[in-house]
Amino acid sequence: MGAKPTITGPSGTGDIMLTCFINLSRKRMVGVRLGSREKLDDILSSMNQVAEGVSTAGAVIALAQKYNVKMLVLTAVVWIMDNEQTPKKLFSN
């Protein structure tokens, strides 16, 4: 689509590290709670901040499909958020 890669720059790397490792990350908190089998609606209604990745994940997957880009991890996240799969089913051996 003509975008320049930013994920390898300081802001992209910092965002990934924050999301993965810091308990203050809204996206991380949603993911941890989903992994604990809480329902997405319950998680979102208990938050006083917005976890913007929840509302944008489906749009990103739609664009990835349109441009034939495989996004396996995000696809799995969307399946979990949409109750199509559980973390246990997706990631068990």
Maximal C-alpha separation, the chain: 38
> Would you list the domain boundaries of the chain?
10-91
Q: In the structure encoding, which two tokens stand for residue 48, read together?
A: 């006083």
Could you tell me which of 86, 20, 4 has the C-alpha nearest to residue 53? 20
Task: Write out pLDDT tens, residues 4-61.
Answer: 766 677 777 888 888 888 888 898 999 899 888 899 999 999 999 998 889 999 999 9
The whole-angstrom separation of Cα 83 and Cα 18 is 26
**Is residue 26 within 8 Å of residue 49, measured between CB atoms?**
yes
Q: What pLDDT was estimated at residue 93? A: 62
Q: In the structure encoding, which two tokens stand for residue 50, read together?
A: 């917005």
Q: Which long-range contacts (CB under 8 A, 24 or more apart) does 5-8 make?
A: none
